[in-house]
């Protein structure tokens, strides 16, 4: 019998296994896929370069992840080139000088900010055009503007930048200002998105060789502790141990279990005895969003020749933000973008060719005809992945994610849960996965002692 069986070899599972193995405990990691990394994955291209299909950017405060990267002898790299940001608003592309000193925003924060601004703009339009709606929502419109920002923008970075942009446009947000007053400002003042553009510089790090290199290095050191192609299909548990039934019928017994599956997948596994109903309800509230991460590969990073950074944002189109993710291994230009939310929902049901066309169309409108002929298109639709079932976007009801994750992390006898979605800090991010894996492993180690 193992001391601990860990389900899933994503960052959380690998970090948990490392923690326990270093303390001499008898551990196994059961991974359904034929690779480690989970939502961190590299695709190596024919010219030796690679694209990162999942988690990639290291944001401010990702200290535990950075420590692991360092321990594994890996290096971080910054953005490949400096240059100007391009913002496309109402069909017009604007070039915006990047600011060296503006604090970093992750791609998620950029997209969170984008959806927050979009919501505010829609509300402002409604206020202008629909008198009946305004009357019916008088009390709601009287809510504190700061509160509206903190509940409608999910990430702290986006909230901070929103405040800066708002202050730059209208002056500091007065204490006690209402949403109604804010909407009036939006209807009468300068365009918030243009203001955002001039503050939208992005200075992020990633790992040389791709974030997947971190997962490979962790797994290498764990050796045969990690088993690939080992899908857990059923969990039987009592107050002393658990039996994990694999797809081929094999049974793995352990005194403690750490499941690192995203919440919806974790609760949908058959359990004997069954999990309490509230777990299913809480997991439903944090149902994953739908994000398709996509890349256009060009002969060269043409945007650099034009003095652009490759980072762009637009107020319409299937792909609204892009980033230069070209790698040193090749001369080719890699332009990354996301299909998100409703666009991803409808486009994920269409063909790859159609999504490629939609991406090319978006970037051609932003960068011009020079972007019209990529060499190839690569994508990963995470909602179509059986062992992930979607990935988070900035589209959850306010507070839902961060309040339900920690509740779900409460152990059920010998069963423990870890992973990005259970983290109390950096929830949803790689840093959250790493911290949660380490913290839950520490609890398990104490229980075993
Ligand atoms: C497109 C995209 C972009 C992202 N960008 C960023 C970013 O730039 N920065 C950032 O910080 N975060 C980013 N993230 C989030 C980040 O990748 C995740 O938060 C993190 O990798 C999750 O790690 P985890 O170990 O918690 O879960 P996972 O990586 O999902 O690991 C769970 C593991 O369980 C396995 N599994 C599932 N079912 C079973 C089963 N039945 N039996 C056995 N094994 C099973 C899975 O195969 C998987 O390996 C991004 C995610 C996506 C999808």
Shortest-distance Cα residue to atom 35 of ligand 1: 8
Q: How far is 51 from 176, CA to CA, in rounded Å?
A: 46
Ligand 1 centroid, distance to 40 Cα (angstroms): 6
Instruction: Determine the pLDDT at residue 255.
Output: 98
CB distance 159 to 113 below 8 Å = no
Is the CB of residue 207 below 6 angstroms from any atom belonging to ligand 1?
no
Atom of ligand 1 nearest to the CA of 431: 11
pLDDT at 107: 67
How far does the centroid of ligand 1 lie from the alpha carbon of residue 52, in Å?
Answer: 13
**Closest CA to ligand 1's atom 37:** 387
Element (H, E) at 15: helix 11-22
For ligand 1, whether the C-beta of 15 sits within 6 Å is: no
Ligand 1, atom 7: closest residue by C-alpha = 55
pLDDT tier for residue 90 given thresholds of 50, 70 and 90: low
CA of 278 to the centre of ligand 1 (A): 24
Inform me whether the pLDDT recorded for 197 exceeds 50: no
Report DSSP state, residue 99.
-
Contacting residues for 270 by C-beta, under 8 A, at least 6 apart: 233, 234, 235
Q: Report percent pLDDT > 70 for the chain.
A: 83
Q: What is residue 113's predicted lDDT score, i.e. its pLDDT?
A: 78
Per-residue model confidence (pLDDT) at position 189: 52
The whole-chain average pLDDT of the chain stands at: 84
Please state the atom number of ligand 1 nearest to the C-alpha of residue 62: 11
Distance of CA 380 to the CA centre of its chain: 13
Identify the CA nearest to 426 among candidates 408, 402, 407. 402
Taking residues 208-212, report their average pLDDT.
94
Greater confidence, 400 or 276?
276
Residue 72 vs residue 97, higher pLDDT: 72
- Find, among 268, 337, 265, the residue nearest to 297 by Cα: 337
Question: pLDDT tens digits for 133-146?
Answer: 999 999 999 999 99
pLDDT for the residue 284: 81
Residue 13 pLDDT: 98
Q: Which residue has the tokens 């950096």?
A: 426
- Residue minimizing CA distance to atom 17 of ligand 1: 55
Handedness of CA 99, 105, 106, 108 (dihedral sign): negative
Q: What is the pLDDT of residues 163-196, one digit of tens each?
A: 766 765 666 677 788 898 888 877 765 455 544 4
**CA-proximal residue: ligand 1, atom 20 (nearest):** 430
Higher pLDDT pick, 328 / 259: 259
Pull the structure tokens for residue 82.
């400096």
pLDDT at 411 over 90: yes
- Cβ of 39 closer than 6 Å to ligand 1, yes or no, is yes
CA distances, 230 to each of 31, 54, 68, 176 (Å): 5, 22, 26, 55
pTM attached to this predicted model: 0.81
Q: Is 387 in the pocket of ligand 1 (CB under 6 A)?
A: yes
Strand partners, 76: 207
Q: What token pair was written down for 192?
A: 């918030």
**pLDDT score at 170:** 63
CA dihedral 12, 51, 348, 386 (to 10 degrees): -30
Report whether pLDDT(44) > 80: yes
Please, which pLDDT band fits residue 413 given cuts at 50, 70 and 90? very high
Strands 2-7 and 27-30: parallel
Dist CA 378 CA 8 (whole Å): 25
Is it the case that residue 19 has pLDDT exceeding 50?
Answer: yes
Helix or strand holding residue 313 (H, E): strand 308-314
Q: With bands split at pLDDT 50, 70 and 90, how would you rate the model's confidence at 341?
A: low
């Amino acid at each position: 019998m193992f001391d601990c069986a860990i389900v899933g070899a994503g960052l959380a599972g690998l970090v948990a296994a490392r923690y326990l193995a270093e303390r001499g405990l008898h551990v196994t990691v059961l991974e359904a896929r034929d690779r480690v990394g989970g939502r961190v994955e590299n695709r190596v291209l024919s010219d030796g370069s690679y694209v990162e299909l999942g988690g990639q950017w290291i944001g401010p405060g990702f200290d535990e992840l950075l420590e692991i990267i360092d321990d594994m002898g890996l290096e971080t790299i910054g953005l490949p080139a400096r240059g100007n940001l391009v913002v496309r608003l109402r069909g017009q592309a604007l070039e915006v000088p990047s600011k060296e000193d503006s604090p970093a925003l992750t791609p998620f924060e950029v997209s969170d900010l984008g959806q927050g601004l979009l919501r505010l703009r829609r509300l402002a339009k409604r206020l202008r055009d629909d008198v009946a709606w305004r009357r019916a929502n008088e009390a709601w419109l009287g809510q504190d503007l700061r509160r509206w920002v903190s509940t409608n923008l999910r990430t702290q970075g986006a909230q901070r930048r929103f405040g800066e942009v708002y202050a730059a446009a209208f002056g500091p947000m007065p204490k006690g200002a209402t949403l109604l007053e804010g909407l009036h400002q939006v209807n009468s003042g300068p365009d918030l998105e243009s203001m955002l553009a001039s503050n939208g510089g992005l200075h992020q790090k990633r790992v040389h060789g791709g974030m997947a290199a971190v997962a490979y290095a962790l797994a290498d050191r764990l050796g045969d502790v990690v088993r690939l192609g080992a899908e857990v299909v059923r969990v039987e548990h009592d107050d002393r141990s658990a039996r994990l039934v694999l797809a081929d019928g094999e049974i793995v017994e352990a005194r403690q279990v750490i499941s690192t599956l995203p919440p919806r997948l974790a609760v949908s596994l058959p359990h004997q005895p069954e999990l309490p109903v509230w777990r299913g309800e809480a997991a439903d509230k944090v149902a994953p969003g739908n994000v398709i991460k996509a890349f256009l590969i060009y002969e060269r990073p043409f945007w650099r020749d034009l003095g652009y950074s490759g980072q762009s944002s637009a107020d319409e189109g299937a792909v609204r933000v892009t980033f230069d993710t070209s790698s040193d291994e090749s001369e080719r230009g890699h332009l990354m973008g996301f299909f998100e939310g409703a666009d991803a929902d409808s486009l994920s049901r269409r063909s790859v060719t159609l999504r490629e066309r939609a991406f090319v169309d978006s970037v051609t409108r932003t960068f011009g005809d020079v972007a019209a002929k990529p060499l190839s298109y690569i994508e990963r639709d995470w909602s179509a992945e059986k062992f992930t079932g979607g990935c988070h976007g900035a589209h959850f009801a306010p507070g839902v994610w961060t309040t339900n994750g920690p509740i779900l992390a409460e152990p059920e006898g010998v069963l423990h849960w870890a992973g990005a979605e259970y983290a109390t800090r950096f929830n949803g991010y790689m840093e959250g996965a790493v911290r949660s894996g380490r913290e839950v492993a520490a609890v398990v180690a104490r229980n075993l002692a």
